[in-house]
Amino acid sequence: MQAPRLKRAQALSPSSEWALFLDVDGTILGFADTPNDVAPSDRVTGVLREIDLCLKGAVALISGRAIGNLDHLFAPQKLPAAGLHGLERRDANGRLHILGEAEALEHLRVPLTKLASFHEGAILEDKGRTLAIHYRRAPNAAEGIRQRVEELVRPSSDELRVIHGKMVSEIKPRHADKGSAIRAFMDEVPFTGRLPVFIGDDVTDEDGFAAVNALKGHAVHVGDGASKNAHYGLSGVNEVIEWLETWPSIIHRLVG
């Protein structure tokens, strides 16, 4: 059955009572051959600063990247953030909340290293509490890599989960996801009592979409692919930034 057509996100009117949650790669930053080749433009960092002021700090990054990597990308700005798909979270007061252990994935490091080295262009990214094989530079190997990753993780499927994203297969513990991170933020100042809005582009963001829907918020999917849980859509990174750039003037006009 064909997925329902998404409403245009521009139909939503930004409010000073919103809380904004943003995926990073594929949402506010474009993709590159490797995660380390990506960098935000001054335009992106500028709009994040403006919206953070408009929403009085109720802005958080919700990413598969580690928080340390997000801080490096967006320095000197340090927003509240959830990294590693919710396994680590820094609240608005700067406190770190850590879930999961690197040891849970230890038995997979050697076979995944061998798998990546077998396919020219594939890269194993070891984030400590998650492992990700990127195959953007080995597109013909995508199906074989996905199948092998599933095989390797199957004996540990009660504890571990595989997420197949855009040209990446990532293994993570099951006990946290982007949805749980958003729910945790929404229980804390300055997010609590606000309407959550989450913008993301990939299957890894579906847990976050479901969470904001349950909280009567807005889930916005980026790109041409289908989404199980988002009701609104934007075409790509440029359109995300263009929409976010309209928020400050709209919010200032509404609050007088």
Residue 59 — left, alpha, or beta (φ > 0 → left; ψ -120 to 50 → alpha)? beta
Residue 52 CB coordination number (10 Å) = 17
Residue 212 CB coordination number (10 Å) = 26
Q: ∠ CA(154), CA(155), CA(156), 5° rounding?
A: 90
Residue tagged active-site, from 23, 71, 91, 177:
23
Contacts with 142 (C-beta within 8 Å, 6 or more apart), sequence order? 135, 167
Gap between the Cα atoms of 193 and 155, Å rounded = 42
Task: Residue 127: name the closest of 62, 78, 75, 172 by CA.
Answer: 172
Residue type, 117: S
User: Catalytic residue at 158?
Assistant: no
For tokens 């930034």, the residue is 241
Max distance between CA atoms of the chain, in angstroms, equals: 60
Residue type, 57: G
Cα-Cα-Cα-Cα dihedral sign, residues 163, 133, 67, 62: negative
Question: Which residue numbers are catalytic?
Answer: 23
